[in-house]
């Protein structure tokens, strides 16, 4: 039995999906990530008017452009999974942010540990509207 935390649904508030992992330079959804994506599917089924943006982020390693491309493909991959599980594609927008919204000091040229870089590799969703 899964437990889903109830959260106050607010427009433009960002919610981090924990435990969405990808192999290096890959956008394939791993089985361990399906658990978290299933939680989002459940939230969207319970709230059938929600429209969301699903955004993926990378760390600063790799070129800025390749990170934008990689993060966009990761968002699109996650959305394909969500659609496959019964959510209409009109309710979700994919957005890859690359390394444009880092959560810590680990920008280009700064030496950081793997754990510090991992903080920046994340998938988030935010409510951008409601369908009629």
Rounded Cα–Cα distance for residues 99 and 57 (Å): 6
Q: What would the pLDDT profile of 41-72 be if each residue is shown by its tens digit?
A: 999 999 999 999 999 999 999 999 999 999 99
Q: What is the pTM of this model?
A: 0.84
Of 11-25, 50-64, 83-97, where does mean pLDDT reach its minimum? 11-25
Cα atoms in the 13 Å half-sphere on the side-chain side of 12:
0
């Amino acid at each position: 039995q899964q437990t889903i935390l109830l959260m106050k649904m607010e427009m433009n508030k960002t919610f981090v999906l924990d435990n969405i992992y990808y192999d290096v330079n890959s956008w394939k959804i791993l089985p361990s990530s399906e658990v978290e994506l299933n939680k989002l599917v459940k939230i969207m089924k319970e709230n059938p008017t929600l429209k969301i943006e699903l955004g993926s982020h990378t760390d600063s390693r790799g070129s800025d452009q390749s990170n934008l491309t990689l993060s966009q493909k990761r968002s699109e991959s996650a959305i394909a999974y969500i659609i496959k599980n019964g959510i209409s594609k009109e309710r979700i927008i994919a957005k890859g942010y690359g390394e444009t919204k880092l959560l810590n000091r680990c920008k280009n040229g700064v030496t950081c540990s793997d754990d510090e870089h991992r903080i920046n590799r994340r998938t988030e969703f935010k409510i951008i509207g409601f369908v009629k």
